[in-house]
Structure 1
């Protein structure tokens, strides 16, 4: 057929060459030569199609297994207690008594404010208390003396009532003076700024000798690192996969994945779950607490939190590369009893490690193709072999154990 077409092209070229000038004869001759070569190649390419050989492919024999029902989300760490240190009295900041970034204990003195004005105020309050106490002694004596005179009708009732009223006023003055003394003592104690919680201190915001205002000036901060909190949220779709909103009872395990991809050694515990979905973001806000004795986690760090609420049985794990997409959905290729490629539409769940969780579409013992997927078509003959036949893989008898081991480790 190709030779006939080539001869036809040459005849047409010769016919046309008689009507054109010599310069175009060469171009027509080259066109004829290309036509012959193209026809020859077409015959060579179509010839092997009739005797196509079986495509060698790697297959995995799948077995039903159990996987955790979990959801993963981006999370951020924060100190369990983050406190801004502000002075409760104003004055001149005399001295900083801690090292920036060092750990401090609860109650440890961090700053010293000039105490002299508050010592003077305390002395004044004590003097006023002593004056009030002396006054009450006088009014009590006067009231006692007038009571005897009233009994002998030597004075009027009014005079006695005035004396007793002055005694009551003197007693109230003593109570007021005692409160002033306690207030002065408290203000004096506030000149030593202490850490309200134990944790790691921050940077000193001022310098020694600065004038600070009561309850306003920020001196530093203290962050409690252990335990440490992790905040994250889950969307409506993720909550549906977990079977509903997460609570402290349903959350069986919470784990963390660090920025370098490694797993955090400690498991966490949910200590807050929002009772409603955020209408703006459509998420449920969650928070977990983790032990952080070695300070591996720092506040403000981004990690990935994984919430596990249970296990799902009777599913299959298939490598991600084996799952393909089409307009009808996801599918995999399996090897049928005639060693031909067959399409299996599948319903996938979440990822477990590097594998897809197959919820529906596969049967135990089916052989799923995991390579050369772009080269095969439905019904194509295949030459399956397990991963053990590839270099560096386990022995043939270990194929099933490899798949199960991967399932358990995931």
Structure 2
């Protein structure tokens, strides 16, 4: 209380002086507790993270590429003689066998031409026979000097000329008969017919646009053309002949299996750096249509690799990397080279060692040398990325197999993007 004159009483001052040491001690205890809890000046707490211990294992070598199907044989059916197209003898889109009749062109003009050629042949043969008899009669006379040698030579020349006329007439008959056969247009190969390009009653002429009548495509087997990067082809070169190819449709399902490579280009495209390949597939049920776009998956042997969840693989401007639990229980970025997706995992070709513990969650919060407390197995949904987010290197469906990232060292920020956040954006698959 205040004494007279407005001052503190002697008792009040004594109480205030006694409370000051207690307040100082309380502040000291709070600061010590704060430091012990990871506050300023103290050791930070270890972040709990889920880890997966990886071990080398044999995984298949698979390469994906977008390809386009085509018939193993594709033939244009054309008219070889001029005339009126009288009749279609097939249904568009039907399967036909080689030799099946497709169109009929008017026959009468060519039947007449054949009859005339046969008549000319008969006349030439009769003339040749008469010339031969005449030459034989003169042969005996010239021996008796009854006629001049000149008359005999003329008769012999006439016989040879007549024989040559017979050969020409025979050729004309064969030509007329061949033209007559061309009035029946047949399928040159077995396959599926296309759309008829000329209607009944049209005049068709060889060498003109009207000569193209339809197309026939052999769809069993069907061929698929695709390209691989030069580096990807090198991975399967040693087992190219034993490679198996399967096709993936637009819905992600297998549409054909058991394909084999039947062509590999001997040059590299100078602009794209790719090599063309072709695979052959049995296609009896026409599951693959010529012109259809598909994904060709080439399987050629196996390789040693580490399987890591897709969400654990991140990427910065220097390539792909993962976080592992390093020495002293600290988070360490490790550059890796990826091979392909296998289910929900990345196959890591280089960058990891047997027994490494790869961190699979809380990736956004990690910093280089930050202490972590590993836990076995990732908790559901705690993958450090939004639900449904695509991992680095491809689409969420696992379409094309990405190429390797080269294994460059992450930046000093530990693979963080601008603003200090890890760069976990998807990368374009090569």
Question: Under a length normalisation based on structure 1, what TM-score does the superposition of the two structures give?
Answer: 0.77
**Distance in 1 of aligned mates of 2:86 and 2:238:** 50
How far did residue 101 of structure 1 move?
Answer: 0.7
How far did residue 48 of structure 1 move?
Answer: 6.7
> Is the 2:52–2:359 contact (alpha carbons within 8 Å) kept by the matching residues of 1?
yes
User: Which residue of the partner structure matches residue 161 of structure 1?
Assistant: 153
**Distance in 1 of aligned mates of 2:239 and 2:80:** 38
Moved more, 123-132 or 304-313: 304-313
Q: Compared with structure 1, are the counterparts of its residues 274 and 328 closer, same or farther at alpha carbon in structure 2 (3 Å cutoff)? A: closer
**Distance in 2 of aligned mates of 1:185 and 1:287:** 42
Select the structure with the greater relative contact order (CA < 8 A; seq sep ≥ 6): 1
User: Which residue of the partner structure matches residue 400 of structure 1?
Assistant: none
> Is the 1:271–1:289 contact (alpha carbons within 8 Å) kept by the matching residues of 2?
yes
**Correspondence list, 1:5-404, <5 A:** 49-50=38-39, 55-216=47-208, 217-240=211-234, 242=235, 246=237, 249-250=240-241, 252-313=243-304, 315-326=305-316, 329-335=319-325, 340-353=329-342, 354-377=344-367, 378-382=369-373, 384-387=375-378, 390=380
**Distance in 2 of aligned mates of 1:299 and 1:337:** 57
Q: Compared with structure 1, are the counterparts of its residues 306 and 90 closer, same or farther at alpha carbon in structure 2 (3 Å cutoff)? A: same
**Distance in 1 of aligned mates of 2:273 and 2:322:** 34
**Distance in 2 of aligned mates of 1:266 and 1:155:** 87
Q: Compared with structure 1, are the counterparts of its residues 383 and 115 closer, same or farther at alpha carbon in structure 2 (3 Å cutoff)? A: same
**Distance in 2 of aligned mates of 1:47 and 1:101:** 82
Number of aligned pairs? 342
**Distance in 2 of aligned mates of 1:112 and 1:248:** 51
**Distance in 2 of aligned mates of 1:344 and 1:311:** 28
Superposed CA RMSD: 2.6
Question: Under a length normalisation based on structure 2, what TM-score does the superposition of the two structures give?
Answer: 0.73
**Distance in 1 of aligned mates of 2:76 and 2:279:** 23
How far did residue 263 of structure 1 move?
Answer: 2.2
**Distance in 2 of aligned mates of 1:110 and 1:247:** 47
User: Which residue of the partner structure matches residue 384 of structure 2?
Assistant: none
How far did residue 355 of structure 1 move?
Answer: 2.3
Moved more, 208-217 or 50-59: 50-59
How far did residue 152 of structure 1 move?
Answer: 1.7
> Is the 2:256–2:281 contact (alpha carbons within 8 Å) kept by the matching residues of 1?
no
**Distance in 1 of aligned mates of 2:206 and 2:239:** 41
How far did residue 271 of structure 1 move?
Answer: 1.4
**Distance in 2 of aligned mates of 1:345 and 1:54:** 20
**Distance in 2 of aligned mates of 1:236 and 1:174:** 64
Q: Mind listing any 5+ residue stretches in structure 1 that lack a counterpart?
A: 1-44, 392-409
Q: Compared with structure 1, are the counterparts of its residues 95 and 247 closer, same or farther at alpha carbon in structure 2 (3 Å cutoff)? A: farther
> Is the 2:45–2:371 contact (alpha carbons within 8 Å) kept by the matching residues of 1?
no
